[in-house]
Amino acid sequence: MSRVAFVGIGKMGLGMAGRLLAAGHDLTVFNRTAAKAGPIVQLGARSAASPREACEGAEAVFSMTAHDTSSRSVWLGPDGILEASLAPGSFAVECSTLSHGWVMELAGQAAARGLRYIDAPVTGLPDDAAAGALTLLVGASADDLQAARGLLGAISHSVIHFGPVGAGTAYKLIINLIGAVQIASAAEGLALAARAGLDPRVVADAIAGSQAASPQVVRNTRRMVDGDHHRDVVFTPALRLKDVEYGLRLAGTLDIRAPFGELAADMLRRLCELGLDGENESTIIHIFTSGRAVQYRHSPQQTGKVP
């Protein structure tokens, strides 16, 4: 088994780290809020005081943080991962959903230190992470991916190889952009159904068996009907907005218009402005039921470029 470090023990990271530990790997973890690593430490992992300390002598490093800023901090900050003594050929596995530009920069930094970088954002919920049932969306060289499959198999049931480094992140941003549009459209449809006098529960059940169904639409429309946005938060408007903005940034660099994504981003920004950024993203129904119509800030002529 390998010496493995895991940096970022949040809702997803906790389950992923647990799978690595269960697979018999010698695991050291770091989390900015150390108490959150308590459950995995009780199972046998070691806790480190910094990313650098966690990664000393590791053969593979996994990272799962919220955004570019936190990722940059744990990899390149003082006492960051890349300050550790990592043997050439060690794996650097970044599982966070990040901007494409930062992933490519980080991959270059890792390669300069002789590390094998695996671009591996995930799809799945915290329960899937704990069960080892995530799907990994991988960008890596074929040789590096083959060499890392044993490690990756501990945290996933499926690995989809999209191409070289950056390809996995590109796909993740695309699919999360699509998801944001789907959820916003579903909220619009539910509000319209209610105004037309339809029973929202019947509508949500019908949507679940319709051509418009997707796991995200089904999950969120049912929570919209229940008004259940506060408990067991799966994904927040703030995190969804971050992903959409990264996706729009990628679209801009590729000179692709993304007007539907821009409209979804406007709705998510409004939720954050209203102080709903920490609730479940199903709270987007609030935009259509609160009397606060969204004033769209982007014209159809725009290219999808963001600052």
**Catalytic residue set:** 172
**H helix runs in the chain, sequence order:** 11-22, 38-42, 51-55, 68-76, 100-112, 126-131, 142-153, 167-195, 200-208, 215-226, 237-253, 259-273, 286-289
What is the full DSSP assignment across 101-156? Answer: HHHHHHHHHHHHTT-EEEE--EES-HHHHHHT-EEEEEES-HHHHHHHHHHHHTTE
Residues in a beta bridge with 215: none
First to last CA, the chain: 45
Instruction: Pick the closest to residue 305 from 237, 257, 268, 267 (CA basis).
Output: 257
Q: Give CA–CA dist 183/298, Å, rounded.
A: 19
